[in-house]
């Protein structure tokens, strides 16, 4: 069994490319079914604001990589995506997932949100049955290791989420939040953090709008100075705010240029959603400054270097965990072959006993004795080869011998 990952992320692609390759949950189900139909055995699709990655297991990793690389362009009807795709296979693919899970491959090193996204994604794929024995084991180990890293070295101790960096960028632009008002669109995890950070900055009023107004009413009791706004009324209060921060899961634009009428002389808009919430043409309006998640790359936090030091410690922890995981993966191949050998012996034993019992009249006691003798003889025949196979440490040599055994015994 081989492991691979094919994807598009912030390391290789700008926001407009990532946006065009973003999977909604319904699209994930459709894409997974199409890939399973193409012969991929297990699939997990991780789609966030910074990455769209397909993890898989199949017999032939090279063929799997080729199938999924072509699939991106076909599924999203965008040939240009092929210019931004990265691929990893086997150990490199596993390492990549561990790095992603621990926040070491994030825009903000060590950020916390990605771990929850990986957990949700894996649970989703287990529910629909596309993540099975191999990917379940790999994802669970990556998640457990990530939690261990966060506990041991506290790489995420200081807040460096996308929400935090977004607020930091806005503060650099407007100098102070005191006396300012903000409109927050969306009440997911990112914007709950956004509200928290805005309050820490002593901002004035925070208008909050969400397509499901009930969710705004739910969080109102947990935060001060929140003013709930009906979603359809979001444009009507633009003359009252200095800042707009939007982070929804909408596949469509939620703030359109043509709908913006009355604004203050200066309006700062932070779009931390993907697909983007804010019409890029909004930046053409006089007095409007528009920022998106790619602008956050320009922000250097005070403890970036410290996090890089901690990430080296994290990488060593991951290295040890991946080594153990590879031992398990290799043993899966051996156990499968051993199981097939045992099944072949059982089949031979059954056929032989059926023949003997047809030709010779035996009582129950004698039948049991012959059964045990034959079982012991067949197991003795394969015992030494199995022990020798388990003792081979060289991965390539072991795989070569497993292939020979499978061909010789037709298993």
Residue numbers annotated as active site: 49
- CA distances (Å), origin 177, targets 173, 191, 197, 236, 270: 10, 17, 11, 22, 14
- H-only helix segments in 360-394: 364-391
d(CA 53, CA 86): 9
CA atoms within 13 A on the CB side of 57: 16
Is residue 35 exposed (0-12), middle (13-18) or buried (19+ Cβ within 10 Å)?
Answer: buried
265: which DSSP letter? S
Question: Is residue 228 within 8 Å of residue 220, measured between CB atoms?
Answer: yes
Look at residues 306, 308, 300, 273 and name the one whose alpha carbon lies nearest to residue 19. 273
- Residue appearing with tokens 């990455």: 51
Look at residues 185, 191, 272 and name the one whose alpha carbon lies nearest to residue 232. 185
Instruction: Give pairs for 341-347: CB < 8 Å, separation 24+.
Output: 341/382, 341/386, 341/405, 341/409, 341/411, 342/382, 343/411, 344/409, 344/411, 345/375, 345/378, 345/379, 345/381, 345/382
Question: Is residue 370 within 8 Å of residue 362, measured between CB atoms?
Answer: yes
283: which DSSP letter? G
């Amino acid at each position: 069994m081989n492991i691979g990952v094919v994807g598009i992320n912030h390391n290789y692609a700008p926001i407009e490319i990532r946006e065009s390759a973003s999977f909604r949950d319904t699209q994930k189900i459709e894409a997974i079914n199409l890939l399973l139909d193409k012969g991929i055995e297990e699939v997990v699709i991780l789609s966030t604001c910074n990455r769209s990655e397909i993890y898989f297991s199949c017999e032939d990793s090279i063929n799997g990589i080729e199938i999924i690389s072509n699939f991106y362009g076909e599924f999203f009807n965008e040939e240009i995506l092929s210019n931004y795709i990265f691929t990893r296979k086997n150990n490199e693919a596993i390492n990549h997932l561990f790095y992603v899970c621990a926040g070491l491959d994030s825009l903000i090193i060590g950020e916390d949100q990605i771990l929850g996204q990986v957990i949700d994604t894996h649970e989703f794929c287990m529910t629909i049955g596309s993540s099975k024995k191999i990917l379940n084991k790999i994802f669970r180990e990556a998640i457990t290791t990530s939690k261990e890293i966060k506990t041991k070295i506290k790489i995420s101790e200081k807040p460096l989420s996308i929400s935090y960096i977004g607020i930091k960028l806005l503060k650099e632009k407007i100098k102070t939040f005191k006396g300012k008002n903000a409109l927050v669109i969306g009440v997911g995890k990112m914007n709950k953090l956004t509200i928290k950070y805005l309050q820490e900055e002593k901002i004035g009023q925070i208008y909050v709008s969400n397509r499901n107004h009930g969710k705004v009413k739910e969080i109102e009791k947990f935060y001060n100075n929140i003013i709930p706004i009906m979603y359809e009324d979001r444009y009507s209060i633009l003359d009252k705010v200095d800042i707009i921060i939007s982070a929804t899961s909408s596949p469509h634009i939620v703030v359109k240029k043509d709908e913006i009428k009355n604004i203050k002389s200066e309006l700062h808009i932070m779009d931390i959603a993907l697909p983007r919430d804010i019409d890029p043409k909004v930046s053409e309006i006089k007095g409007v400054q528009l920022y998106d998640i790619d602008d956050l790359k320009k922000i250097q936090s005070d403890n970036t270097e410290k996090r890089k030091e901690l990430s080296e410690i994290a990488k060593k922890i991951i290295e040890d965990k991946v080594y153990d995981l590879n031992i398990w993966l290799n043993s899966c191949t051996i156990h499968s072959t051993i199981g097939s050998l045992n099944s072949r012996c059982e089949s031979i034993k059954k056929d032989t006993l059926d023949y003997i019992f047809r030709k010779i009249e035996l009582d129950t006691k004698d039948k049991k004795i012959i059964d045990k003798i034959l079982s012991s003889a067949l197991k003795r025949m394969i015992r030494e080869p199995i022990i020798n196979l388990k003792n081979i440490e060289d991965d390539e040599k072991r795989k070569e011998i497993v292939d020979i055994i499978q061909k010789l015994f037709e298993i």
